[in-house]
Amino acid sequence: FDTASSIYVLSKEQITKSGATSVPEALKMVPGLIVRQLDNNQWAISSRGIASRFSSKLLVMIDGQSLYTPKFAAVYWETLNVPLYDIERIEVIRGQGGLLWGSNANNGVINIITKNSIDTRGGYASVTTGNQINADANLRYGGDISNIGSYRVYGHLKDANESKKGVSLTPSDTTKQQSFGIRADFTPNDEWSGLFQGTITHSDLGQNYRGVIDDTNENISFSDGLERTDSRVMARLENRISPDANQMLQVSWLKQNGSQKYIKEDFESIDIDYQMNFIYQSLQLDWGLSYRYNSISFEKSVQYNFIPNTLDFIIGTKFDHNDLTGWENQPSARLVYKPIENHLVWSALSRSVRTPTLIEFNDNFTVNGTKVIEALGSSTGVTAIDEYRIATFLNGNDDVKSENYTSYELGYRFTDEKWSVDFSTFHTDAKHVAVINLNTHADQFLPALAFFCS
């Protein structure tokens, strides 16, 4: 309630009662979040922007571990396989989150928080079936680790049919998915606690695509299987230094392998994060360091309580460095005012960035092929010329800059035993937004030269 941002927390009770079978389905209940189902296994999810399969300005995490894929600057929702019965809550921030979470959180943050293993001791099994799902089976077992912690192991199997109806293609959106995971929580004493978890998911998905034949520049539509293996490992150590000071160290590893007809992926990342916060009188200071691959970040923020329990002011900035665009700065200032009990007014001024994708930076491939007669709208009178296809290429630009977003936000929140009201409005100015510029390409004319010279 006392947060200077548009936030919604989806509780475990809401998820259980919803009947949802996946995280994207559950996210449909979040006010202000755009959730569209493209087919039986693909989703488009966004906040404060146009939703597409690869929404590039939304940061998604599981227990604080980023699932962001730099190839397409997005998340593969179809391979996100988190058992819903193990979710404690899903925190959704609509708006900029660059100060706390870093780059690529321009329009929002989704953090999926799973249950502590101490709450999942014992056995659990479930099987779901229906006209679209052949089988959705879950199995879990948890127990104690001596007197210092607890654990759980779980497995998941899903087999789903293709859609019953297609638009222009025969549906090919089947799902075959298997996953295995483990989590262990440790609390040896009141000052120290730890967490270790690991998950591996293998997905075999049917999907529809559009492509271009290189030799003829002819557009084609086809069905192909997407085979992916996603592996995650994360370890966290927390220390309560004093009643007013805490520190946390988290190390995580993410590996993604994907294979389909035109694209093969092999992505791996290592994240190291350190955070510390302490309270001195009415001042709260949070600072931290993070390292990912060969990039390093420094963040610092301060919260000051001007009028106890009435007025709070939060100011901070985060500095990031990456190999593509160098140093980035993401400052934010937020104000929380509680005039009377159960009523809160907040405002925020923030700047965030989205780093370029690898496609925007250095990729080069053919995306379309258009016949001359289609481009001109009329015939040239020569059949060979009319039927010749002009290729459209997508070329990266190694001079591309990070997208910059400056947001102004204002909100009001009210809650009591019967009612809950959340209102927010925002205005965002964008600079250096990646766009497509039309230019000639040398390869565009090589087939034509070969045709006329032969």
Dump pLDDT digits (tens) for 343-359: 888 888 888 887 777 66
* Averaged pLDDT, 144-164: 89
8-state DSSP, 39: S
Within 10 A of 18 (CB to CB), how many other CB atoms are there? 14
Residue 103 has a pLDDT of 62
Q: Is residue 240 part of a domain?
A: yes
Residue 309 has a pLDDT of 60
List phi, psi (to 5°) of 375. Answer: -70, -40
Q: Is residue 341 part of a domain?
A: yes
Q: Is residue 164 part of a domain?
A: yes
Q: Which residue type, as a one-letter code, is found at position 324? A: L
With bands split at pLDDT 50, 70 and 90, how would you rate the model's confidence at 89? very high
| Total tally of structural domains belonging to the chain | 1
Residue 448 has pLDDT above 50, yes or no: no
Residue 116 has pLDDT above 50, yes or no: yes
Helix (H, G, I), strand (E, B) or coil at 304: strand
Looking up tokens 């440790």, which residue turns up?
A: 186
CATH number (domain holding residue 166): 2.40.170.20
Task: Find how far residue 442's CA is from the centre of its chain.
Answer: 37
With bands split at pLDDT 50, 70 and 90, how would you rate the model's confidence at 447? very low
8-state DSSP, 372: H
Can you give the residue range of the structural domain that contains 141? 6-363+396-431
Residue 226 has pLDDT above 70, yes or no: yes
Q: Is residue 221 part of a domain?
A: yes
Mention every residue, 6+ apart, whose C-beta is less than 8 A from residue 195.
63, 183, 184, 185, 186, 234, 235, 236
Q: Is residue 384 part of a domain?
A: no
Higher pLDDT among residues 402 and 323, named by residue: 402
Threshold 0.75, pTM exceeds: no
Residue 280 has a pLDDT of 80
Residue 88 has a pLDDT of 94
Residue 192 has a pLDDT of 93
Percentage, residues of the chain above pLDDT 90: 22
Percentage, residues of the chain above pLDDT 70: 77
Highest mean pLDDT among 12-26, 272-286, 341-355: 12-26
Residue 451 has a pLDDT of 39
Residue 301 has a pLDDT of 47
Higher pLDDT among residues 431 and 150, named by residue: 150
Looking up tokens 């035109």, which residue turns up?
A: 262
Residue 337 has pLDDT above 90, yes or no: no
Q: Is residue 375 part of a domain?
A: no
- Token duo for residue 301: 């923020």
Q: Is residue 448 part of a domain?
A: no
Higher pLDDT among residues 368 and 404, named by residue: 404
Q: Is residue 67 part of a domain?
A: yes
Asked if 83 and 156 touch (Cβ cutoff 8 Å), the reply is yes
Residue 298 has a pLDDT of 42
Residue 150 has a pLDDT of 95
